């Protein structure tokens, strides 16, 4: 009987966690972060623009990303010309591009400023160097990540 109770409790927790974590937006469409598709050769520097489409005011945004360190090196992250440029609290974790090791988070937090308005536009730009050893024709994906 105890085994049945443990199994039942586990199933309920999994069912509730799945339901609670589902992405839904009863007030409109799900907000979306998307990126450029960039073509370049080995040894070149590239800028990958990340965009945000939202249909409600946002007080905070967190974008966890991962990339292949065998093919790319993150050089910097820029907020110039972005929809969040005016926000005072812009965070990257790790704090510097040299420390990323293939995983990083870019986050924005509204404290005293206005919230990020409804719209679609540039959120930030990542500057990468393509390693000289990258094979021509290789597709490298910069993807979302959950820590």
pLDDT tens profile 77-121: 999 999 999 999 999 999 888 898 899 999 999 999 999 999 999
pTM of the model: 0.78
Distances from the Cα of 97 to the Cαs of 32, 74, 129, in angstroms? 24, 6, 12
Residues contacting residue 131 through CB under 8 Å, at least 6 positions apart: 42, 43, 70, 71, 72, 73
């Amino acid at each position: 009987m105890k085994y049945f109770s443990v199994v039942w409790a586990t199933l309920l927790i999994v069912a509730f966690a799945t339901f609670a974590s589902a992405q839904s937006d009863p007030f409109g469409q799900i907000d979306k972060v998307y990126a450029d598709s960039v073509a370049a050769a080995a040894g070149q520097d590239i800028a990958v623009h990340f965009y945000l489409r939202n249909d409600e005011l946002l007080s905070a945004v967190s974008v966890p990303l991962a990339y292949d360190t065998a093919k790319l090196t993150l050089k910097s992250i820029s907020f110039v010309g972005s929809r969040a440029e005016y926000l005072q609290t812009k965070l990257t974790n790790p704090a510097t591009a040299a420390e990323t090791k293939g995983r990083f988070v870019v986050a924005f937090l509204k404290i005293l400023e206005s919230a990020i308005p409804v719209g679609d536009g540039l959120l930030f730009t990542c500057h990468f160097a393509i390693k000289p050893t990258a094979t021509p024709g290789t597709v490298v994906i910069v993807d979302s990540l959950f820590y």
